[in-house]
Amino acid sequence: MRFILSIFLVFIVSLIGSAKNVFTIVNQTDSSLTIHFTLPQYGFTQKQIDSIVYQTIEAANSQTIAFKSSPELPKYSTSILIPNNANLSFSIIDSSFSEYSNIRIIPSTGSLKRIPLSSDYKEGKQYSINEFYPSVNISTGLQYQINNNKGTSIALMPFRYNPVSKKLVVITEMTINIAYGSTLHIQSQNTYNNDF
């Protein structure tokens, strides 16, 4: 019971810190946590670099996947407490998505500490690979210790882009079950097949 209460408290602090409740708790037990993600408002703005017109995704309360020269896509993160030596596995219970065709997403400039110049926007090798980027919708970060409890961050990538087909898939809602096993092993999860 104390562990469940600890999960609840850390999750509530995380939800308060995110300004808008993109993550909500659906159910929690000693062996699993079910959360629901709702994508806040998002939109597109055009940016011309040299002679190419790109789309930039503006998504409320998001961070950016900032790998230089890969598509610049928003992501959302939260933290949860987990049992010691937990084996985290994810299962997608339900999801809804929208799809956009013939869209060109701007490449990331990485983590620049200045205003980017046109020369900072370069399409890297990811733009020639015929698959969705990022390759998974859910991942976890390194585990950390808070007093006597272990925690981890969960990143959800609701925007996935195939630069060759110029197709963007946007997960607008997702319900995720996070199960705790007995040995440490972290598994990432897709919501749909890459052949989509």
- What distance in Å separates the CA atoms of residue 131 and residue 189, rounded to the nearest whole number? 16
Tell me the pLDDT tens digit for each residue of 137-182.
Answer: 999 888 888 888 888 899 999 999 999 999 999 999 999 999 987 6
pLDDT of residue 116: 86
Q: The dihedral of CA 11, 16, 19, 25: what is its sign? A: positive
Within 10 Å of residue 134's Cβ, how many Cβ atoms? 20
**Domains parsed from the chain with CATH numbers:** 2-186 (2.60.40.3800)
Q: How far is CA 1 from CA 8, 30, 34, in A?
A: 11, 8, 16
pLDDT of residue 183: 47
Tell me the pLDDT tens digit for each residue of 30-63.
Answer: 889 999 999 999 999 999 999 999 999 999 999 9
Q: Which residues contact 127 (CB under 8 A, 6 or more apart)?
A: 69, 71, 107, 163, 164
